Amino acid sequence: MNSPKNCRPIISTIAPGDWFGSHYDLAIFALGFESRATSFIEDIACSKDRSFAFGFNHGHDKSYGTNLDRFRDAGVLIRQSLPDESFERELRGALQLVSDEACQNLFVDISCFTRFRLAAIVNEIFSIAQNRVNSLIVDFGYALANFEKPSTRRPPNTTVGPAHPAFAGWSQGSYSSTATVLGLGYEQDQAMGVVEYLQAGEVWAFAPNSPVQEYKPEVDNANALLLSEIAPNHVIEYNVCAPASVIATLESVVRGLSVEHSVVLVPFGPKIFVLCTLIVAAMRQDVAVWRASQGSRIEPHDRVWSGVRVGMRLTFQGCQS
């Protein structure tokens, strides 16, 4: 990650009133197959021709068609069927529209972006922010999905590694053993598999507390073996609806671990936690964020919005001023 440490945003959790009342200079959405992809579309006021929906080159079923229509109806510019490499180029092009003549407001709906694309977004935003004179305000929105039983048939991983090359980390002190900070999800024993893969010397886990109550027992169950072996004080419960607080806790844990370890964050679970790990890594220069991905082999299934939305605001004060 190449963002200097002094380019550090002010981070706050925001409520629906904050994005209802804002006018954005740029808005970014994911055009995916989940119906929650459009759960923010009607609430975001954005300058003309400054809203973009970035599509994927796979998974054009489930709610994809409906989402496409809704984005079109809302006047959102569509970038369809993008492979990941093209996504980065298109994203950069869209972000170039953000001028540095005045404070600018951005909105990003993270609900349906993959970990790779989220990482690319955070990387680009921090890169822009560090070269700005004027402030930049970025609001991230996340629509929690209704609970669904996790699939018992899990395709094999195609990637286990950094979420994006910019998030590979870099050891700061000599050769040091790896410490892993996990975000727990409900995929059976997957977090434990990555711990073993990394041969981590120290393990911490963040367990989500969601307003959608059904997740918790599933997460506990899927990680029972892992949780039985981590010291209880290494397991931290976090509130999915309080991302700013999650970042503060994450940073504190990472700061402590990085004295002796090369730290790898592995965020399973809700996308809002993925975003938190990326922001922590972007504010430092040494921490990696890894993903375990099944790529396009993953079976598409619709994730319906639960009615709960979470927001987080990053305010960059103008790093070049």
Partner 1 sequence: MRNEASISPFFGAYNARHINAEEVAHQFVPSSKFWELIALRNTLLIGPRGSGKTHLLKMLQPKALAAWKGDEGETARSKVDYWSVFTPADINWKTQVENRAQGLSSEDQIQFSNAVFLSHFREAYIACLIQLTRDRPSVDFGGKSTRVELPREKEVALCVALAETWRLPLRVPSLDGLKLALVEELVRVGVPKTLTSLSPYMSRLTSMTVMDVAREVSENFVNITGLYGARWALCFDELEIAPISIQKNLFSYLRSTDQRFVFKLAISPSNDASALLNQVGNASSGNDFDAIPLWFVDQGEREIFCSRLWEKHAADTHAATLSPIVLLQRSRFQFANEEISHGRRRYQETSPWVKDFQYLERIDRSFAEFLKRRDVSTAALSTASREKMNAVVRKVAPLVGFRATYFTSPKSSVASPPVRRKLKGPPPEVFSGWDAVCTATEGNPRWFGGIASRLILKWTQSPSGRALTREQQTHELQAAARKFLAWINAIPIENAQRGTPSLSLHDFISALARYFEQEILGPVFKADPVLSFTVDEGTPESIRRLVITALNIGAIVIVDDDVVNFMTSPVGRTFRLVHLLAPVFNLPMRKGKARNLSGILSKQLGNLDSRAPTSKRPGEPVDHNQMGLFNE
Binding status of residue 198 toward partner 1 by CB under 8 A: yes
Which of 124, 202, 214, 251 is the binder for partner 1 (CB under 8 A)? 202
- Residue among 150, 193, 256, 300 that touches partner 1 (CB under 8 A): 193
Binding to partner 1 (CB under 8 A) within 281-300 occurs at: 285-286, 288, 292
Of the candidate spans 59-67, 90-98, 186-194, 269-277, the one that interacts with partner 1 by CB under 8 A turns out to be 186-194
Per-residue binding string, partner 1, 147-176, x by CB under 8 A, is -------xxxxxxxxx--x--xxxxxxxx-
**Which residue, 76 or 163, is less far from partner 1 as judged by CB?**
163
How far is residue 168 from each of residues 2, 11, 249, 278, measured CA to CA in Å? Answer: 11, 23, 21, 11
Q: Between 76 and 91, name the residue whose CB sits nearer to partner 1.
A: 91
- The label of the residue with tokens 């305010």 reads 315
Q: How far is the CB of 204 from partner 1 (least distance, A)?
A: 10
Measured CA to CA in angstroms, residue 302 lies from 35, 37, 68, 112, 215 at distances of: 6, 10, 15, 11, 17
Q: What's the chain's length in residues?
A: 321
Among 56, 262, 289, 303, binds partner 1 (CB under 8 A): 262
Compute the chain's Rg from CA coordinates.
Answer: 19
Judged by CB under 8 A, the chain residues 222 through 251 that form the site for partner 1 are 225-226, 228-231, 233-234
| Least gap, CB of 202 to partner 1 (angstroms) | 5
Q: Do the beta carbons of residue 268 and residue 184 sit within 8 Å? A: yes
**What x-and-dash track marks residues 31-50 binding partner 1 by CB under 8 A?**
--------------------
200 lies in the binding site for partner 1 (CB under 8 A) = yes
DSSP string computed for 31-52: E-SSGGGGTTGGG-EE-TT-EE
Residue 32 to residue 193: CA distance in whole angstroms? 28
Nearer Cβ to partner 1 (233/321): 233
CA–CA separation, 256 and 276 (whole Å)? 17
Sign of CA dihedral 146, 76, 243, 266: positive
Q: Is 315 helix (H, G, I), strand (E, B) or coil?
A: strand
**Residue 83 within binding range of partner 1, rule CB under 8 A:** no
Mapped onto helix, strand or coil, the DSSP state of residue 217 is helix
**Residues binding partner 1: number (CB under 8 A):** 49
* Residues at the site binding partner 1, with contacts judged by CB under 8 A: 2, 154-162, 165, 168-175, 177-178, 189-190, 192-203, 225-226, 228-231, 233-234, 262, 264, 285-286, 288, 292
